[in-house]
A and B are shown apart, each in its own frame.
Chain A
Amino acid sequence: MSDARRLEQMTREFLELGPTRAPDDAVRAALLAVQTTPQERDFGFRLRPSQRWLPLRLAMAAAIVVVALVGVGQLQLPTGNVGGGPSPSATASPAVTPNPSLTPSPSPTPLDTTTWLTFTSDRYGVSVLHPADWVVTRASEFWDLQADRNMFRVGLVLDTLVAPSNNPQFHVFSMGLPPGTSEDAFLAEFSKFTLDPECIPPRVEWAPITIDGRPALLVANTCSPYAVAFAFVDGRVYGFRLFDLAEYPDGLLFRTILTTVRLNPGDALEAPSPAPSPAPSASPGSSPSPPTP
């Protein structure tokens, strides 16, 4: 072994061994994280962490001014009874005050869904229609808040319906609410521990809608082009997320897909172990653990 050449040869042969292909799940999870990760723009200087949202805020402020000036109503996400069914109480919570920017607006003509296919999630007990050329990837693990805030696990816990160009994507997820957990407590925890908590408007600004005739809530992320909707049925929470809204900035695609959702909580599988959950009486200041960076 004292021969330098032999050592070099051995090292080369040794390093040739081992995997040469990245696990698909790992790459998929990372790319999903990218969907919600803003880029650092080069402003000629490095922003401190607390300043990193400044450009986004400035851009948002500029966008608001532009929207106000031109009065483009169609940039609002449509709300209201997207499920087409009865809306028992109109809102999921009496405390909800609709965000003026998310109030119902004249709905554009829904997309034609006659050629769409049905996806049924055995894991989460839900079915939904999607364009025929979209690719479906089923979740391989159960969704919970911990997984949703972990950018590297979230791709494994979502039923994902993806357009051929990888955009847009529709995500389906669900979990049984632990006994005693209120809808408000769940939503507070979701907002607090999502990957980008600064980008989720306050709970009172979420818009009331219905999904499959059930009261639901919808909110648009203010930093990334996606929206999320939640429905609560028989002790379960159902979540639906659409990236990216750019192709249908009026929310038409999201609204159309949501009209096809059918909730079947009785068919959902139960997670094998108790899912990490928000405290039953969670409040804005209650014992958060640090979010995944």
Chain B
Amino acid sequence: MDRELVERARGGDRDAFTVLVHQISDRLYAIAHRILRDGDLAQDALQNAIVTAWRQLPHLRDADRFEAWSQRILVHACYAESRRRGRSAATVRLISFSPSTPDTSDALADRDEIERAFRRLSPDHRAVLVLHHYLGLPLVEVAATLGIPAGTARSRLHNASRVLRSAIEADSQPTIEEVRLA
């Protein structure tokens, strides 16, 4: 990230901010989409995050932290979007994927399984999984991005993984009806 651009934007230069937004918007949207599991919600979160980042940019102390700082704003925008729509877990749409390469039925089944399980997670569990497993951030960076202590980030990641595993295992159990039929 160009430190000079950040400094100029912090000083009120909208053109500089526009350049910065074009540099980070794809990644921000990808994060929002993976947390919210919905394109419309992700767009709203992205837009809110961009405007909030512009408004609050003078408060950013370290220009080198601009991208992480904007990701934190985005994650909070995702939380707000989830609360506002009140459907963070229950009514979000399934995302349809079009794999570019042939996929095995096992892989598809795994993907469906994890999609269903992921939708059951709370937004903060999804956020920690996305930051750690999608962005590849180490836990210290995850904690810094979310504005929480490192220990909290660690336990949140552990809990998210546990809930995800439980949800997958619950999905894979036969239903009572299936047991009866057998």
B residues less than 8 Å from A30 (CB atoms): 21, 46-47, 50-51
A222, CB-defined interface residue at 8 Å: no
Q: Would B172 and A1 count as touching, CB distance under 8 A? A: yes
Residue of A nearest to B11 (CB): A39
B122, CB-defined interface residue at 8 Å: no
Q: Would B50 and A34 count as touching, CB distance under 8 A? A: yes
Q: Would B55 and A23 count as touching, CB distance under 8 A? A: no
Interface residue SS majority, chain B:
helix
B72, CB-defined interface residue at 8 Å: no
Q: Would B47 and A33 count as touching, CB distance under 8 A? A: yes
- Within the complex, what minimum Cβ distance (angstroms) separates A248 from chain B? 16
Residue of B nearest to A7 (CB): B165
Cross-interface CB contact of B114 among A2, A11, A40, A244, cutoff 8 Å: A11
Cross-interface CB contact of B15 among A16, A17, A165, cutoff 8 Å: A165
Residue of A nearest to B44 (CB): A152
Name A27-66 residues within 8 Å CB distance of B: 27, 29-31, 33-35, 37-42
Q: Would B161 and A151 count as touching, CB distance under 8 A? A: no
Q: Would B12 and A39 count as touching, CB distance under 8 A? A: yes
In the bound assembly, the distance between CA atoms of A29 and B51 in angstroms comes to 10
Name B144-182 residues within 8 Å CB distance of A: 161, 164-165, 168-169, 172
In the bound assembly, the distance between CA atoms of A25 and B178 in angstroms comes to 47
Name A1-18 residues within 8 Å CB distance of B: 1-2, 4, 7-8, 10-18
Q: Would B133 and A34 count as touching, CB distance under 8 A? A: no
Q: Would A14 and B43 count as touching, CB distance under 8 A? A: no
Q: Would B26 and A26 count as touching, CB distance under 8 A? A: no
With A15-B129, A152-B47 as given contacts, are A34 and B14 in contact (CB-CB < 8 Å)?
yes
Cross-interface CB contact of A26 among B46, B57, B111, B161, cutoff 8 Å: B46
A20, CB-defined interface residue at 8 Å: yes
A residues less than 8 Å from B164 (CB atoms): 7, 11
Q: Interface stretch among B29-37, B63-71, B85-93? A: B29-37
Query: Per-residue CB proximity of B13-30 to A under 8 Å, as 1/0?
Result: 011011001100110111
B residues less than 8 Å from A37 (CB atoms): 51, 54-55
A residues less than 8 Å from B29 (CB atoms): 19, 21-23, 26
10 A-B pairs with least C-beta separation: A22-B29, A30-B50, A15-B134, A30-B47, A22-B25, A26-B43, A34-B54, A14-B114, A152-B47, A27-B25
**Sample (28) of A-B pairs whose CB atoms are under 8 Å apart:** A2-B165, A2-B169, A7-B168, A8-B133, A11-B114, A13-B111, A15-B34, A17-B95, A17-B99, A19-B29, A21-B26, A21-B30, A22-B46, A26-B46, A29-B47, A30-B51, A34-B50, A37-B54, A37-B55, A39-B12, A39-B56, A40-B58, A40-B59, A41-B58, A42-B59, A151-B47, A166-B14, A166-B18
A residues adjacent to B (C-beta < 8 A): 1-2, 4, 7-8, 10-23, 26-27, 29-31, 33-35, 37-42, 151-152, 165-167, 244
B residues adjacent to A (C-beta < 8 A): 12, 14-15, 17-18, 21-22, 25-26, 28-30, 33-34, 39, 43-44, 46-47, 50-51, 54-59, 95, 97, 99, 110-111, 113-115, 118, 129-130, 133-134, 161, 164-165, 168-169, 172
Given contacts A12-B133, A34-B17, 6 further A-B contacts (CB under 8 A): A8-B133, A19-B30, A22-B26, A39-B58, A40-B59, A244-B14
